[in-house]
Structure 1
Amino acid sequence: MKYASIALAAAAVFSTATHAATPMWSDEYTTQACETWNKDATLTTGLGDKWIKNDGGRGFKTIRIYRTECGEATQTEMKIVPKDGKAICEYGGAPKAAKMEYAFDYTMHATTEKWTEMGAGEYGPMKAMMFGRLKFVGPKVEAMTVMGPFETFLKLPGKIAGDKACPAK
């Protein structure tokens, strides 16, 4: 019986090691963030009106995200499209958009520590932007009009397990 317990404990440790979390804001992580976005009514419905329609007639908005200490080369991308009156994440992963249009699109980055704090709900977008904890390029006035959904977006790192190692690129 003692050996069976040791074998089960070893199997549990091995299983945990092989299923380690993917690095925060890696391509795989951003795919999970896209799936999580689509399950959240604050994001899909809250951004499904005016926000998603400000797209320059392209039919989508692009959000690029990365962790400051990992560098711009590790950016990932979410493509948000209007569908049935909602803002739906159609794609999450490696950047595909040829060009960012900052009248409509967003790039955000913060340190791993700050993403973790925002994900835990320690503070929202106003404090994050005012104190420089979240670096942000894009239509700031538009972002100010959707603070509730924006805060929900910043909480995604608290809903998805992410390793602190920088994503490989």
Structure 2
Amino acid sequence: MITTRATALAALLATGSLSAHAEVFMSEAWAKQACDAWNKSSTLTAELADWAKNDDGRGFKTIQMYRDKCGLGSKVELKISNKDGKAICTYGGAVTNSNPDYGVDYLMHATDENWTCMGKGECKAAGSMMTGKLKFSGPKMEAMGVMGPFNAFLALTGSVGGDKSACP
């Protein structure tokens, strides 16, 4: 019995279906993984290329996010730049943009339950924003124009996963 369980666990770890060590959801290390996942997504890099150009001449825009139960002080940041016609995540980690411009930058937060729903793709971007499942600051009209890729971003939060039992 123990051998069977150990074999099953080893198989899950080998296939990547279960992480040996999950980062805390929305921690600095998690944000680094999310940045890497962004760059592997052709939906995000290609379909948000024009979106990434709206950076107020700074060369980047930021997406800051946090979990409601962990509070505003726990937010992390993804920095997105238009590089060679693609929206590339150049940084994921602790907040570096201490003065976001919500004409180009974004702040998002939600309950763990709602992050899970969005991460599974069960709650879509527009509905989550309209129902208050996803609290949002930033250029709303711009966001409405990129709902398809934004759904992919929300699903990315689930694909990166993470431990929600503790705050970062």
Report the CA distance between 1:96 and its aligned residue.
0.9
**Counterpart position of 2:116:** 116
Q: How does 1:90-169 map onto structure 2 within 5 Å?
A: 90-168=90-168
**In 2, Cα distance between equivalents of 1:94 and 1:167:** 14
- The 3-state SS of whatever aligns with 1:114 is helix
Report the CA distance between 1:108 and its aligned residue.
0.2
Report the CA distance between 1:53 and its aligned residue.
1.2
Report the CA distance between 1:146 and its aligned residue.
0.4
**In 2, Cα distance between equivalents of 1:148 and 1:118:** 13
**Counterpart position of 1:48:** 49
- The 3-state SS of whatever aligns with 2:114 is helix
Report the CA distance between 1:156 and its aligned residue.
1.2
- 1:59 aligned onto 2:95: no
Unpaired segments ≥5 residues, structure 1: none
Deviations, residues 130-165 of structure 1 (Å, cap 9, x unaligned): 110000000000000001111101111221131012
TM-score, length-normalised on structure 2?
0.88
- The 3-state SS of whatever aligns with 2:47 is coil
Q: How does 1:74-89 map onto structure 2 within 5 Å?
A: 74-89=74-89
**Counterpart position of 2:36:** 35
- The 3-state SS of whatever aligns with 1:20 is coil
Residues 98-107 or 19-28, more deviating? 19-28
Give the partner amino acid of 1:79: K
- The 3-state SS of whatever aligns with 1:65 is strand
- 1:69 aligned onto 2:63: no
**Percent of pairs identical after alignment?**
51
Unpaired segments ≥5 residues, structure 2: 14-18
Give the partner amino acid of 1:60: F
- The 3-state SS of whatever aligns with 1:45 is helix
**In 1, Cα distance between equivalents of 2:32 and 2:108:** 17
Report the CA distance between 1:19 and its aligned residue.
3.2
Instruction: Give the count of matched residue pairs.
Output: 161
TM-score, length-normalised on structure 1?
0.87
Deviations, residues 1-60 of structure 1 (Å, cap 9, x unaligned): x99x49x94xx69xx8x93311111111111110000000110010102x1111110010
